[in-house]
């Protein structure tokens, strides 16, 4: 039996597709700018930016694969077969798990930078940041296999008719997902940023009280200001992230298999929208990102020696 196509009006379907594809293309474009910026300019090869690069790659996959896939699932019948449907759901789980894990690592990085500034360079090195990114992606690959294990054994087992692409999951899988990918990471993020906020406020007060300090401490003061600004920016990133994440998991806890397709798609896109907002936060608060965009758009990065450009 073939599934019926969506019964929405033609004009409504076209407008919806255009809007969602515009969000998808915007997500792809701005995350490509993040990836090119951090990869190309040598000054940006720092532990924090390596983590942002990992987040940019996962956000790029959201715009490149997940958003178009969700648009097609919602507005048309699935014509790519059960195997591609299983692969799509695997990529959904893998990408979102990577994104969540990376945000947790970013929170740990900022916690170390603000709470232990004198030891930060020894604790968080570029090599360790790269190892953390690799472990994060490996963990996501492994967890995704567990999440879609039934579909990997029998592709299309959740479909009730031809042309459908649905992932059927058990309460055990949902429980594990909520604990490992929602409750535990969110708790860590909130606890770490509460600690960061308290320390950042005390440091800001200390800097204001020593505004007339001797010149010897000027560089240290600038460094602290930079760290505080980075913590504030990444704090906003985390708040936006949680705002996009929580509705999806709250609803999935009530309706395991998300039987209402309209509600499910809205929650998916709210979750995915975070991948578009992250780089906009960078552009709004990071001068180096705005400068990098200018150099990329004007093709100055193609000039010899552009990797050594003073971007900070």
> How many domains does the chain divide into?
1
H/E element, 178:
none
pLDDT band at 218 (very low <50, low <70, confident <90, very high): very low
Q: How many CA within 13 A on the CB side of residue 33?
A: 23
Alpha helices in the chain (DSSP H): 10-40, 47-61, 67-75, 81-115, 120-123, 126-147, 149-153, 171-177, 184-209, 218-254, 261-285, 287-297
Whether 219 shows a pLDDT value over 50: the answer reads no
Residue 176 lies in a domain: yes
State the residue range of the domain holding 289.
Answer: 10-308
What's the pLDDT at 57? 93
Residue 2 lies inside a defined structural domain of this protein: no
- Half-sphere exposure (Cβ direction) of 144: Cα atoms closer than 13 Å: 21
205-219: average pLDDT: 54
Question: Is residue 5 one of the residues assigned to a domain?
Answer: no
pLDDT digits (tens, 9 = 90+) for 136-158: 999 999 999 988 888 887 776 76
The verdict on residue 26 lying in a domain is: yes
* CATH code where residue 294 lies: 1.20.1070.10
* pLDDT of 215: 43
Q: What is the pLDDT of residue 196?
A: 79
**Is 214 part of any domain?**
yes
Instruction: Give the residue-averaged pLDDT of 163-175.
Output: 78
Higher pLDDT, 287 or 75: 287
Please provide the DSSP assignment of 225-290 as one string.
Answer: HHHHHHHHHHHHHHHHHHHHHHHHHHHHHHSTT---HHHHHHHHHHHHHHHHHHHHHHHHH-HHHH
pLDDT digit string, tens, across residues 34-54: 899 999 999 889 998 999 899
**Which pLDDT score, from 0 to 100, does residue 210 have?**
59
CB atoms within 10 A of CB 182: 18
Whole-model pTM: value is 0.81
pLDDT reported for residue 195: 83
Residue 172 CB-density burial (10 A; 0-12 exposed, 13-18 middle, 19+ buried) = exposed
**Whole-number average pLDDT of the chain:** 79
Residue scoring higher pLDDT (161 or 225): 161
- As a whole-number percent, the residues of the chain with pLDDT over 90 amount to 14
With bands split at pLDDT 50, 70 and 90, how would you rate the model's confidence at 77?
Answer: confident
Distance CA 161, CA 22 (A): 30
Q: Which residue has the higher pLDDT, 305 or 156?
A: 305
pLDDT of residue 115: 84
Q: Report the distance separating Cα 272 and Cα 95, nearest Å.
A: 10
Which of the pair, 300 or 254, is modelled with greater confidence?
A: 300
Name the 3-class secondary structure at 162.
Answer: strand
Residue 4: inside a domain, yes or no? no
Higher-confidence residue of 97 and 240: namely 97
In this structure, is residue 174 part of a structural domain? yes
pLDDT one-digit tens code per residue, 221-277:
445 555 566 566 667 777 887 788 778 777 766 665 555 666 777 777 787 888 888
Q: Which residue has the higher pLDDT, 126 or 256?
A: 126
The length of the chain is 312
The DSSP bridge partners found for residue 162 are: 2
Q: Mean of the pLDDT values across residues 73-96?
A: 85
Say if residue 217's pLDDT is above 50: no
In a domain? residue 34: yes
Dihedral, CA of residue 101, residue 104, residue 110 and residue 113, to nearest 10: -80
Give the whole-angstrom CA distance, residue 108 versus residue 203.
18
């Amino acid at each position: 039996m073939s599934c019926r196509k969506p019964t929405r009006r033609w004009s409504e379907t076209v407008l919806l597709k255009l809007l969602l594809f515009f969000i998808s293309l915007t997500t792809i474009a701005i995350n490509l700018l993040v990836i090119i910026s951090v990869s190309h300019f040598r000054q940006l090869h720092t532990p924090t930016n390596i983590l942002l690069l990992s987040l940019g790659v996962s956000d790029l996959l959201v715009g490149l694969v997940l958003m178009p896939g969700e648009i097609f699932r919602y507005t048309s019948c699935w014509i790519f077969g059960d195997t591609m449907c299983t692969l799509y759901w695997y990529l959904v789980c893998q990408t979102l798990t990577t994104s969540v894990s990376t945000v947790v690592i970013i929170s740990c990085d900022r916690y170390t930078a603000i709470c232990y500034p004198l030891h930060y360079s020894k604790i968080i090195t570029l090599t360790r940041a790269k190892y953390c990114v690799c472990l994060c992606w490996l963990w996501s690959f492994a967890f995704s296999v567990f999440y879609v294990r039934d579909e990997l054994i029998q592709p299309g087992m959740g479909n009730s008719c031809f042309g459908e692409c649905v992932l059927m999951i058990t309460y055990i899988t949902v429980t594990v997902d909520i604990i490992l990918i929602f409750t535990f990471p969110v708790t860590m993020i909130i606890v770490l940023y509460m600690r960061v906020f308290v320390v950042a406020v005390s440091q800001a007060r200390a800097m204001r009280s020593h505004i007339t300090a001797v010149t010897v401490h000027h560089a240290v003061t600038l460094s602290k200001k930079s760290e505080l600004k980075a913590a504030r920016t990444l704090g906003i990133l985390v708040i936006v992230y949680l705002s996009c994440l929580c509705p999806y998991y709250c609803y999935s806890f009530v309706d395991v298999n998300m039987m209402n397709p309209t509600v499910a798609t809205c929650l998916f896109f709210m979750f995915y929208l975070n991948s578009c907002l992250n780089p906009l936060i960078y552009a709004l608060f990071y001068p180096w990102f705005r400068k990098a965009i200018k150099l990329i758009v004007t093709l100055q990065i193609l000039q010899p020696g552009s990797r050594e450009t003073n971007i900070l």
